[in-house]
Amino acid sequence: MARFVVPRPSRHTRPGLPRMARMTTAFEDFHVGQVLEFGSRTVSKDEILAFAADFDPQPFHLDEAAAADSVLGGLSASGWHTCAMTMRMMCDAYLLDSTSQGSPGLENIRWLRPVRPGDTLHVRMTILETRVSKSRPHIGLVRSSWEVFNQHDEIVLQMEGWGMFGRRDMPT
Amino acid sequence: MARFVVPRPSRHTRPGLPRMARMTTAFEDFHVGQVLEFGSRTVSKDEILAFAADFDPQPFHLDEAAAADSVLGGLSASGWHTCAMTMRMMCDAYLLDSTSQGSPGLENIRWLRPVRPGDTLHVRMTILETRVSKSRPHIGLVRSSWEVFNQHDEIVLQMEGWGMFGRRDMPT
């Protein structure tokens, strides 16, 4: 369940995206400075090993002894696994009931701390920029930053990127 | 199996990373301008649906009818799935037999074309920059770009980022 909060400078509790609870989220619902906090995803050792076996079988994601000897100091999730879990938290919090049309790309992905078996992740999303697409005026672009924290409120992942959303006030 | 090629300006066929075939790849084996081509990964519809169900259950990754109506014009893999498959191709081509210590981050991920069921992907990697870590002199940093193409040689994904590699000529 998403928890809406206002930007950091003013620590009030009025909702940041007030339309979300009432109707499908569209481009018009995003405003620069909004902060959205959401997600609570616990990752098991088995999930870490399964993702690594499929996509990132480096020893520090797949083998406890090798991981203990690595720069990561113990078994940790592939950075791509953390990104994918973050994507799922975005879907559940706002994308699945929205006019989302996907994303053209992301910037500045930073894997800042290892994600360990048993960690529980949550996300803080901040809206940085909104604009209507010049080439496709029925689409709006929303640039956001996402910060992902573990259960100790330590940041594990930071990234920025664009989402494309249909506009509510435009005929298709 | 990796295929080594030289940078685009000179189209000769001498190997770009000559030590790779003989011994574990270390920081010293990467040089600015090297180009490495590798990978041949076919993605099935079932794999696309399974990844989407876990991590990115937006309709255009999970439902053929909804996907046909979307901006993507048909079912396509989650962008994170494409990144994860690219990671696996990197692992198989050079990371698993290397001194890799993971990555601090990536930049400029661009999902340029949809990846469809049945597509076969391959990667072209170009070394952009190499330097020894100031804070950890036994580690070298390698900045690369990765371009991922489908079987029609259309680019589907582009990204840049840093890898950390142990140095061969440094005592640990």
pLDDT of residue B165: 95
Residue type, A124: R
Residue B156 to chain A, least CA–CA distance (Å): 11
Closest by Cβ to B105, choosing from A84, A87, A110? A110
Task: Report the distance separating Cα B66 and Cα B60, nearest Å.
Answer: 6
Q: Which residues contact B50 (CB under 8 A, 6 or more apart)?
A: none
Closest by Cβ to A55, choosing from B71, B79, B88? B88
**Per-domain residue ranges for chain A?**
3-43+85-166
pLDDT tens digit string along B122-154? Answer: 999 999 999 999 999 999 999 999 999 999 999
Contact call for A57 and B104, based on CB within 8 A: no
Task: Report the distance separating Cα B74 and Cα B66, nearest Å.
Answer: 8
Task: Report the distance separating Cα B124 and Cα A69, nearest Å.
Answer: 31
Contact call for A70 and B101, based on CB within 8 A: yes
State the average pLDDT for chain A.
Answer: 87
pLDDT of residue A172: 53
% of chain B residues with pLDDT over 70: 85
What is the β-pairing status of strands B120-132 and B139-149?
antiparallel
| B-chain residues near A139 (CB < 8 A) | 71
Q: ipTM for the complex?
A: 0.85
What would the two tokens of residue B65 be?
């009818």
Task: Report the distance separating Cα A40 and Cα B171, nearest Å.
Answer: 43
CATH 3.10.129.10 fits B3-43+85-166, yes or no: yes
* Four-residue CA torsion sign, B114, B119, B124, B128: positive
| A-chain residues near B102 (CB < 8 A) | 58, 60, 70-72, 79, 111
Residue B10 to chain A, least CA–CA distance (Å): 31
Contact call for A109 and B110, based on CB within 8 A: no
CA distances from B169 to B28, B133, B138, B158 (A): 8, 14, 9, 32
Task: Output the DSSP codes for B67-123.
Answer: HHHSTT-S----HHHHHHHHHHHHIIIIITTB-B---SEEEEEEE-SPPPTT-EEEE
| Interface residue A130 vs chain B (CB under 8 A) | no
| B-chain residues near A164 (CB < 8 A) | 71
Task: Report the distance separating Cα B61 and Cα B76, nearest Å.
Answer: 5
pLDDT of residue B72: 81
Task: Report the distance separating Cα B63 and Cα A2, nearest Å.
Answer: 25
With contact defined as beta carbons under 8 Å apart, do B4 and B20 qualify?
A: yes
- A65 CB-contact burial (10 Å; exposed 0-12 / middle 13-18 / buried 19+): exposed
Examine the pLDDT at B68 and tell me if it is beyond 90: no
Residue B21 to chain A, least CA–CA distance (Å): 19
pLDDT of residue A22: 46
pLDDT of residue A71: 77
Q: Which residues contact B156 (CB under 8 A, 6 or more apart)?
A: B82, B111, B112, B113, B114, B115, B119, B121, B148, B149, B150
pLDDT of residue B1: 38
Residue A88 to chain B, least CA–CA distance (Å): 5
The mean pLDDT value for A75-83 works out to 97
| Interface residue B145 vs chain A (CB under 8 A) | no
**Among residues 148-167 of chain B, which lie with CB inside 8 Å of chain A?**
161, 164
Q: Which DSSP state fits B27?
A: G
Q: Which range has the worst mean pLDDT, A89-93, B30-34, B59-63?
A: B59-63
Contact call for B88 and A139, based on CB within 8 A: no
What is the β-pairing status of strands A35-42 and A3-5?
antiparallel
Task: Report the distance separating Cα A94 and Cα A25, nearest Å.
Answer: 7
| B-chain residues near A79 (CB < 8 A) | 102-103
With contact defined as beta carbons under 8 Å apart, do A28 and A167 qualify?
A: yes
Cα-based torsion angle of the residue sequence A79, B47, B91, B17 in order, rounded to the nearest 10 degrees: -120
| More confident: B86 or A17 | B86
Task: Report the distance separating Cα B34 and Cα B98, nearest Å.
Answer: 17
pLDDT tens digit string along A121-159? Answer: 999 999 999 999 999 999 999 999 999 999 999 999 999
Task: Report the distance separating Cα A100 and Cα B62, nearest Å.
Answer: 14
Q: How confident is the model at residue A3 (pLDDT cuts 50, 70, 90)?
A: very low
Chain A residue with CA closest to B85: the answer is A55
pLDDT tens digit string along B16-57? Answer: 444 344 469 999 999 999 999 999 999 999 999 999 999 999
pLDDT of residue B5: 42
With contact defined as beta carbons under 8 Å apart, do B148 and B126 qualify?
A: no
pLDDT of residue A26: 94
Cα-based torsion angle of the residue sequence A71, B128, B40, B96 in order, rounded to the nearest 10 degrees: -20
